[in-house]
Amino acid sequence: MRRKRPSITLSNLLIEDYAAEGKCIARQDGKVIFVEGVVPGDRVDIRILKSKKDWAEAVPIAFIEKAKERVDPFCAHFGVCGGCQWQMLPYAKQLQYKQQQVEQTLQRIGKVALPTILPIAGASPTTGYRNKIEYTFGNKRYLLPSELGNEEISSQSNVAGFHARGFFDKIVDIDTCHLQTSPSNELRNFIKALALQKGWTFYDSRAHQGYLRNLQLRLCRSGELMVNLIVGEDKPKQTRELLEVLHEKFPAITTLLYTVNTKWNDSIQDLQPVVFSGKGYVEEILRGKDPEEIYRFKIGPLSFFQTNTSQAETLYRLTAEAAALTGRETLYDLYCGTGSIGIFLSRKAGRIVGVEQVAAAIEDAKENAKINQIENASFFAGDVIDVCTDEFFAGQGRPDVIVTDPPRAGMHETLIDKLLEIAASTVVYVSCNPATQARDLQRLDRVYQVTHVQPVDMFPHTHHIENIVQLKRR
């Protein structure tokens, strides 16, 4: 048998600075230690989880002294639920550390010449900002540290909330979540209480059985509310009974659906939600800088849309500024999704060409263009590498401006080669991961110069951050 290594603990370390991705830095004998769950100014005892020659990763096991700038978290579940990581920091301080992360990441990884980085665009409001949220039902409750070892408290109980961080089968039982406004909490708690009363089963992630599985809510600025109940067993009579009660008790619901998911994973992208009442989708509204600029987007249960509507407006307005359109340009929107960025910029461009791999998203984009009476936008399904050929350019025109908004992994090297080959005069790179963005900027550097950097905070009280970079052809 392999011997278990003894755990290494270090005492009385000062947390010196913020690093990135929610981790802070301490040092011991010249070695950098990345610590989770702390803020600069804390003095802690830590346990080492991973140790290399020059760095290590650790978690706090005791707080000797807490940083003076800490504030009391407003959520009773903070520290247990992984939805928010920074409620113990004033919002202004959160923005400071996010700004610092962008600056240091672009400098350290990108190693390219940078202009003065603009101040981060903060969010308002900082609670209740999510238009989409997904809750999980389960039969294993995550026990709090204070409950461990208490034989009178069992983890075998039916709960509704979020997956505990690091556990696929344990659920943090949520009473009140502050990420979405009413009636989000009321809906979740009502379904849970009714199921307990009726004796309906909650999903078991290990045994892959149980009735109640997930609850998706989409609450729009338009006032429309979409509820998608996801069940792990096909029980039509039981489902109808539950949906009829929800329809009666919650008149705010404008579209009520259910999805039967008997798979071993929670993804429903390959499933077909069934409409119980309403039109089967909701409409969201985005406003441009000018009062007459109003855009409407049709959002179905499987559609992607930015989850913070207010900050999506900020992000798109700042993207428009970086694109610096005059009304004549052909703009290519890569990774266009359901077309929201391209449609938002369409009145300022001569022509919009959107490209996206997911065919269903392209159909949504075409529908959204029709809703907004946008006639200068075309959307195409396929990989950018395959779509953007000389024949395609002959039909659609070569881009003057490119907007690219890739997933967290950034752009594939072959796509970067394609961008260098296309050589549009301006590229606007929107990223949700400054580290992969910085890597890609280095690859683009031989043709493009970074001329504008604008961080945007889309998710207050988390370590996530968006960043807009304008690049000009040299």
Distance between CA atoms of residues 9 and 41, nearest Å = 19
Query: Is 388 noted as a catalytic residue in this protein?
Result: no
Select which of 75, 220, 336, 432 is catalytic: 432
Q: Are strands 426-431 and 448-456 parallel, antiparallel or unpaired?
A: unpaired
Letter for the amino acid at 345?
L
Q: Are 331 and 319 in contact (CB under 8 A)?
A: no
Question: What angle is formed at CA 39 by the lines to CA 38 and CA 43, rounded to 5 degrees?
Answer: 75
Dist CA 385 CA 362 (whole Å): 17
User: What is the edge-to-edge ordering of all strands in the sheet holding 401-404?
Assistant: 377-381, 351-356, 330-334, 401-404, 426-431, 466-473, 448-456
Kindly give, in sequence order, each residue whose CB lies less than 8 Å from that of residue 62, ignoring residues fewer than 6 positions away: 44, 45
Is residue 255 within 8 Å of residue 282, measured between CB atoms? yes
Q: Say how many Å lie between the first and final Cα of the chain, rounded.
A: 61
Three-state SS letters, 194-229: HHHHHCCCECECCCCECCEEEEEEEECCCCCEEEEE
Q: Where are the beta strands (DSSP E) in 336-447?
A: 351-356, 377-381, 401-404, 426-431
Closest CA relative to residue 179, chosen from 170, 188, 171: 188
Give the three-state DSSP class for 183. Answer: coil
40 alpha-carbon distance from chain centroid: 25
Separation of alpha carbons 399 and 333, rounded Å:
10
Length of the chain: 474
For residue 360, which amino acid is it?
A: A
The span from the CA of 286 to the CA of 400, in Å, is: 25
**Per-residue b/e over 216-248, b at no fewer than 16 CB within 10 Å?**
bbbbbeeebbbbbbbbbbeeeebbeebbeebee
Catalytic machinery residues: 432
